[in-house]
Structure 1
Amino acid sequence: MAIHLRSYKPIDAWRLTDIFYNSVHAIDARYYSLQEINAWAQLPIDYLHWRERFDAHSVQVAEIDGEAVGFAAMEPDGYIDWIYTHSDYQRRGVAGALYTWLEQRARAEGLTRLSVHASHVARPFFERQGFVVLAENEVERNGVTLINWLMEKTLA
């Protein structure tokens, strides 16, 4: 199963939005309650809103057999906006391939650090990549408080 990375195209917006909602709504209940999951990825899905968000970022898309299965984006200062993988393709190297691309891009652009706000689920992934926790955060989404962690990695 080969993972192919490519740049986002506007035609990807619908599929990437579905990947986001799928990955959030597939999170194990021991990490987030249904109320928290619904606040994080609110229904009904606002595809136009997500298309505008994707169009405003430099997004990398991961494909397997020609199907988009994950995506990632990073701000110019090295803040990682998104790394999401469809639940059917998790634990198959998709997020790792996307992260490797982000770090290579950051190094090529001369950045000295990466940062991210990681969820309960994402925190162990980023720790394996060499990130350290700087702070625990409470974020309000749609009237519900969610916990995440500000994490950082210094690039040598």
Structure 2
Amino acid sequence: MYSVIPYQAAYAPSVSQLFHDAIHAIDESQYSAADKSAWSAKPRSAYHWHKRMSQTKAWLVVDSSVISAGKHICCGFTNIETGYYGQGYIDSLYVHPAHQGEGLAKSLYETMEVWARAQGYTDLTVDASRLSKSLFLSYGFKVNHKSYQEKLGQIIMGYLMSKPLTDLKRQRCHTQGLT
């Protein structure tokens, strides 16, 4: 039984390992071994991930049976920027390779979108990988353009995508005084 919970510091080591494992499980037809090594040469410190997750709004998917055993292992995680400049930017959405295809990314995404709407965010954006592009398309995101990130000398291609969270028809009626 899986649960989506707010991020907790005790999970930082698990988040770090999950990120590294997820990157290195990507098929080489999507990203080369050199790309994956540049993206995550080794697991980053728990401190790095705790800082990154704490400075955003973040959630974890955990196995409820493992929680009761006192273990802090996450099966997936996501986080979204909350600062004014980056507000609504999805920083990450990863699911451990052993749990992919089980609907965990969907649970994380839906939790994040519900929260973002409740905060009044007008849109969401993400730099999606080749692998996650179809996932975000399925949630109504549109590709704005290809994006490129340099990591340890490797250029890693992805897609800048966005999704409006406001009902444009309702918004037009409201601004025209037709509500």
Residue of structure 1 equivalent to 2:17: 18
Measured in 2, the distance between the counterparts of 1:3 and 1:101 equals 13
Match of 2:126 among 116, 128, 135: 116
Question: Which residue does the alignment assign to 2:170?
Answer: none
Separation of aligned partners in 1, 2:43 and 2:74:
22
Residues 18-57 of structure 1: pairs in structure 2 closer than 5 A: 18-43=17-42, 45-57=44-56
Q: In structure 2, the residue corresponding to 1:153 is in which secondary structure?
A: strand
AA paired with 1:114? L
- The higher-RCO structure (CA 8 Å, 6+ apart) is 1
Secondary structure of the 2:30 match is coil
Counting aligned pairs with the same residue, the percent is: 32
Deviation string, structure 1 residues 93-119 (Cα, Å, up to 9, x no partner): 000000000110011011111100000
TM-score (norm 2): 0.82
* Post-superposition offset of 1:126: 0.2
List alignment gaps of at least 5 residues for structure 1: none
Deviates more, 1:114-123 or 1:60-69: 60-69
For residues 43 and 14 of structure 2, what CA distance do their matches in structure 1 show?
15
Greater gyration radius: 2
- Detail structure 1 runs of 4+ shifted over 6 Å in the superposition: none
Give 3-state SS (helix, strand or coil) of 1:101's partner.
helix
Distance of 1:78 and 1:56 partners within structure 2: 13
User: Once superposed, what is the RMSD of the aligned Cα atoms?
Assistant: 1.3
